[in-house]
Structure 1
Amino acid sequence: MRSELFASNRYVSKFRPAVMLERKLVKEPIRTMGPARVELPSPENFLKKHSKEPKLPEQTQSSKDVHKTCSFTERKPPVPRRNDKPLMGIHTKRDFLKETPELVPMKPQPACVDTSKGHKQVLENSGLVPKFITRKDFGRVPAYLQQRSEAERRAREEYENFVKAEREQRAMKHMTEEERQAILKRLKETWDKLHHEYQALPLIIDTMSQRATKDCLERQMKQLEDDIDLFERFKIIYIPNDD
């Protein structure tokens, strides 16, 4: 009595029927162990040769008709009969050889077989036959090398001319004897003039201006004396160009 009361008061979800139905839909029977009974194959239905190979579908009458209409859209002319005479004397100015150069028979390239397995090598680029010695320009200097040598020669000449001009521009000029004597004469005249001014100074110099004048005259006379001594001792004198 107590167990029946407990069973009647047990909670049951309202979604239970839906869950059971969903479980049956997903469940696949005899998936794990297989069927309980397996039907034995009949001896008459044995595995035949090439039975599992893929086969093309059989052609129907409609597919055959489509094949005929698509492949032969234009009807070819009939084969001429035995007693038919061909057309003679027809001439044309059309050059078929020039229009279709691939139809011209070409001479096969010479080659040699260098292995026992039949490996073939073209003789033209193999180096086994003379190729370059038969050319007209064989043994001559190529044109691009001649142009390069000419450009180098012109550049060398321009550089040598530039260096020569710079050397001549920087070269020292030789002073002639007449120029040396004329410069020496002018130096002595200038020294005499300054010496005359120096002797005209008073004996007692007590002002700053007189002392500065005396020092300036002494420096100029000393420089002139050195220049006169230089021109008198050396007969050959070189001077730089004014440029």
Structure 2
Amino acid sequence: MASQSAQEGVGDPAPSPKQPGKTPRYVSKYRSLVKHEAKKNKSQWKTMGPAKVAVPSPSDYLLKHSKEPKLAPRKKEQDEKKLRPSTLPLRTYHPVIRISKDFVNKNAVAVITGEPKKPRPFCVDTRQGDKYLLEPSGLVPKYIKKKSYGVTPTYVTRRNEEIKREREEYEASILEELKKKAMKCLSDEEKTNILKALKKNWEALNNAFQRLPVLTDTRYKRMHKEELELKLRQLEHDIEAIEKHKDVYIANV
């Protein structure tokens, strides 16, 4: 019996695991309200056109000039006022009776006594005789008969005056600049004052030069000595130039 029960246990399939149940789908509580609002303002014919369209009858076909604007009909009173004259002639008015004339004799006398008609001048420009009127062609020198022929135009005179005025202003400005930059002659008093100042500077530099050490073993000492020598040489040159010349001019910088 035990062997039989063991055989039965070995041959039976294993029990399948229990599957969990599906969760219910989420449904919004406002679903019915949204559907109602969507259908509320929706018209079925807005996108596809009206359901029924009035078909025009065959008798109402489009006539020629039917869509052109038409004027309003005139009133009879206005037409009558326009047809009637504004003022009627008086009773004392007598129309002038024209006397018939002999136009044949008159025309004959006018032709006999009149001057012959002069031919119009033409210009022929081709061998075949192609011609055109000479007067409107531009070949007739009509311009010499004008009143303004040979007279300088007003715009030319005005432009020349403007150019002349601008040139005078430019020359005046240049002269003023030259006067500002002109050389100035020194007076005797200024000359003596400048000489005194230059000699005073030379004495101060010479004293500083005399106090220099005899041994110039460093670069700074050599540079300082060369600088003092250069300044002394320049002062000596200026003093000599002022004392040598009687008149000294300086530029206005």
| TM class, shorter-length | 0.3 to 0.5
TM-score by length of 1: 0.41
